[in-house]
Chains A and B, each alone.
Chain A
Amino acid sequence: MNQLVQATHSMLDIQQVGLQMNQSYILKDVSFNIQAGQFVGLLGPNGAGKSSLLRCIYRFIKPTSGQIKLLDAPIDSYSRQEYAKQVAVVLQDVPEQFNLAVFDVIAMGLTPHKPLFSSMNHKDKYEIATALEKVGLTHKSNQMFSSLSGGEKQRVMIARAMVQQPQLLIMDEPTSHLDVKYQIQIMELAKSLGVSVLASFHDLNLAAAISDHLLVLHNGELKAQGAPSQVLTSELLSDVFGVCAKVTQVPSAHNEQTLVPHIRYHYGYIQ
């Protein structure tokens, strides 16, 4: 019974969201829903509107039409701080002109939680230490952020998001510059947090293996959504991504019983 209640609990609800800039549509009539605890993968070729959609959700830009609701309340009804307490974001990459210690970057996650005058207390330090431990960077706490590798930087950003204690974690291609090992590591780390996640992906197989639900965006429109095995078909892959692909079902690496789609691509030059 309890699980049923959990399962129908809506985290994010998007209704007919559109975004228009200079007379052209970036997003058109996008609607979907994310349940509490779900891991949702957002797919689409470059320029499909993935980042714009995510930006609308984390309130960096305002959609020109439609409505976005977080926990059944319109996102505009939240104050900046309240919203930041619910939604944390890990971006593709962050500018770093300055020397910042890893600890201080993670401590930024406290920003929406702390009133102006307060200083860091034991609980805050404990939370930062826990986050550091979880992403496996305890030994680098005092190092400079700029001296870390790309994968370590993204783990720091995830630790920052953990300290922010959100209900929803949004990730905009957090792994696109990373080695294979870190791509998998970052995504599994995000999944292990137990919060709802909305992440855009470049790697379709990784998305298929890790997501509960997939959204496919093409030219600003939502082309398909559903379970990975329903969404990732040869037809969709050739329509949206312009590649020929064979999709087979293989046992998941996490659980031998579940089947996940596996894609083998070719372009067509070699017969």
Chain B
Amino acid sequence: MSKLVLSGLLLLLSMSFVSALGFGAIAIELSDIWQALVSYDATNLEQKIVIELRLPRAILAFLVGSGLAMAGLILQTVTRNPLADPYLFGVSSGASFGVVLLFALTGVQAGLVLSGAAFAGSLLAMTALLLIAKSQLNNQVESMLLAGVALSFLFSACTSLLLYWSDPQAVTAIVFWTLGSFSRADWQILWLPAVVVCMSVSCMLLFRRTLNAMLLGDESATTLGVNVTKLRLGMLVLSSLLTAVLVAMCGGVGFVGLMIPHIVRFFVSQASTAGLLITTMSGGLFMLWVDIAARTVLENQELPVGVITAAIGSVFFLALLVLRKRATASM
């Protein structure tokens, strides 16, 4: 059953990749895409668009989607909070703050330093969240969410303050970046998100048993021989790193981490290896299509992806609240 779903997803994924390469400001024929993939001719403009622009962009979109879905899944598992999400927990805002601070101080706009700053910012946010929610980590779903939202506002305020002091040109660049975009994708920078996402998937697969054991509570996990405190801390750092690297590259893309694991969990048991892989792939698939929409909905214009995910995500979040309310009312 799950093998069938996985192979279906793989098929869908390859079709989506082809679509991502074809759709855009200029529609490119399937035959040209094929040509570009098998025998690339750099002098052909259409082939150049496919290989130099759209392919790295599609890969980045996939990596960001799957990475954020994973970051959400990790957060949800170790805090046992189904509403956890790097965006809602303020981790993304922390990362953004790190990036903007570095930018405002030094003017650096790209590179590893940016990811480093984002990581520092996300760790700061995560530490603050843990300190606030310390005593209630295990059972208070709502209070942790509120703490996360508060932190998210705090970091946004700091970011806005920094923007206020920066020069207008820089502000435009930063604002566009915070809205989320894959336009900076090129082959030179792709390795970093690729490495981090692959590393996280491997970590999740490696520790899947102990992670799953945590789903039935700290006490239950302890009796299965799991070092709960250490595992939770390690996984929170991992999800911060994942969020930070992706935010540094593409800005604030929210709600993917909340939505994707939620939808997948509805159909597949979360504790299975298949559930993990399906979550990752669905995240990537979702983001690929968000990016396609961002490039094609408005003619000659590109919508920020963060706007689209936030729009879909907020509707999803509201629907979730209504459903939860109904579920508790009917009990």
- Are A and B associated in one complex? yes
**Chain A residues within 8 Å of B, Cβ to Cβ:** 55, 58-60, 79-85, 87-89, 91, 94-101, 103-105, 107-112, 114, 116-117, 119, 144, 164
- Counting CB contacts under 8 A, is B133 at the interface? no
Known: A80-B226, A111-B210. A101 touches B217 (CB 8 A): no
Q: Decide: B212 and A80 in contact? CB cutoff 8 A.
A: no
Measured CB to CB, the closest approach of chain A to B185, in angstroms, equals 33
Q: Decide: A114 and B209 in contact? CB cutoff 8 A.
A: yes
**Chain B residues within 8 Å of A, Cβ to Cβ:** 76, 80-82, 138-139, 141, 206-207, 209-210, 212-213, 215-217, 219-220, 222-227, 265-266, 268-273
Q: Decide: B219 and A104 in contact? CB cutoff 8 A.
A: no
Distance of A87 Cα from B116 Cα, bound (Å): 44
Using CB atoms, name the residue of chain B closest to A144.
B269
Using CB atoms, name the residue of chain B closest to A108.
B213
Using CB atoms, name the residue of chain B closest to A93.
B217
Known: A97-B81, A98-B270, A108-B216. A88 touches B223 (CB 8 A): yes
Known: A105-B271, A108-B212. A80 touches B227 (CB 8 A): yes
* B-side contacts of A97, CB under 8 Å: 80-82, 141, 215
Using CB atoms, name the residue of chain A closest to B271.
A104
Using CB atoms, name the residue of chain B closest to A84.
B225
| Between-chain CB contacts (< 8 Å), 17 pairs | A80-B226, A91-B219, A91-B223, A95-B139, A95-B217, A97-B80, A97-B82, A98-B82, A100-B271, A101-B272, A104-B271, A105-B216, A109-B224, A110-B209, A111-B226, A114-B209, A116-B206
Known: A94-B216, A95-B139. A84 touches B223 (CB 8 A): yes
Known: A95-B217, A96-B216, A101-B269. A111 touches B222 (CB 8 A): no
* A-side contacts of B212, CB under 8 Å: 100, 104, 108
* B-side contacts of A87, CB under 8 Å: 223
Distance of A100 Cα from B270 Cα, bound (Å): 6
A-B pairs, 8 with minimum CB distance: A84-B225, A104-B271, A101-B269, A89-B223, A112-B225, A80-B225, A111-B224, A81-B225
Q: Which of A95, A104, A164 contacts B224 (CB 8 A)?
A: A164
* B-side contacts of A117, CB under 8 Å: 206
Distance of A87 Cα from B224 Cα, bound (Å): 9
* B-side contacts of A84, CB under 8 Å: 223-225
* A-side contacts of B227, CB under 8 Å: 80
Distance of A51 Cα from B80 Cα, bound (Å): 23
Measured CB to CB, the closest approach of chain A to B235, in angstroms, equals 14
Counted as pairs of residues, one from A and one from B, with CB atoms less than 8 Å apart, the total is 91
Distance of A47 Cα from B210 Cα, bound (Å): 32
Using CB atoms, name the residue of chain A closest to B76.
A98
Q: Decide: B223 and A58 in contact? CB cutoff 8 A.
A: yes
Measured CB to CB, the closest approach of chain B to A60, in angstroms, equals 5
* A-side contacts of B271, CB under 8 Å: 100-101, 104-105, 107-108
Known: A111-B210, A112-B225. A98 touches B215 (CB 8 A): yes
Distance of A79 Cα from B225 Cα, bound (Å): 8
Q: Which of A55, A83, A112, A116 contacts B207 (CB 8 A)?
A: A116
Q: Which of A80, A95, A98, A114 contacts B265 (CB 8 A)?
A: A98
Known: A94-B216, A99-B269, A103-B269. 14 other contacts (CB 8 A): A55-B219, A59-B222, A84-B223, A87-B223, A88-B223, A91-B217, A97-B141, A98-B76, A98-B80, A98-B270, A100-B215, A107-B271, A111-B226, A116-B206
Using CB atoms, name the residue of chain B closest to A109.
B224
Q: Which of A82, A91, A99, A103 contacts B220 (CB 8 A)?
A: A91
Distance of A81 Cα from B225 Cα, bound (Å): 5
Using CB atoms, name the residue of chain A closest to B219.
A60
Measured CB to CB, the closest approach of chain A to B138, in angstroms, equals 8
Q: Decide: A95 and B206 in contact? CB cutoff 8 A.
A: no
Measured CB to CB, the closest approach of chain B to A113, in angstroms, equals 9
* A-side contacts of B273, CB under 8 Å: 119
Among A85, A95, A99, A100, chain B packs the most CB atoms within 10 A around the CB of: A99
* A-side contacts of B225, CB under 8 Å: 79-85, 111-112
* B-side contacts of A55, CB under 8 Å: 219
Distance of A82 Cα from B210 Cα, bound (Å): 15
Distance of A99 Cα from B82 Cα, bound (Å): 10
Among B207, B227, B272, chain A packs the most CB atoms within 10 A around the CB of: B272
* B-side contacts of A104, CB under 8 Å: 212, 269, 271-272
Q: Decide: A60 and B224 in contact? CB cutoff 8 A.
A: no
Distance of A129 Cα from B209 Cα, bound (Å): 18
* A-side contacts of B220, CB under 8 Å: 89, 91, 94
* B-side contacts of A112, CB under 8 Å: 224-225
Measured CB to CB, the closest approach of chain B to A57, in angstroms, equals 10
* A-side contacts of B209, CB under 8 Å: 108, 110-111, 114
Measured CB to CB, the closest approach of chain A to B19, in angstroms, equals 31
Distance of A100 Cα from B76 Cα, bound (Å): 14
Measured CB to CB, the closest approach of chain A to B6, in angstroms, equals 15
Known: A95-B217, A108-B212. A100 touches B269 (CB 8 A): yes
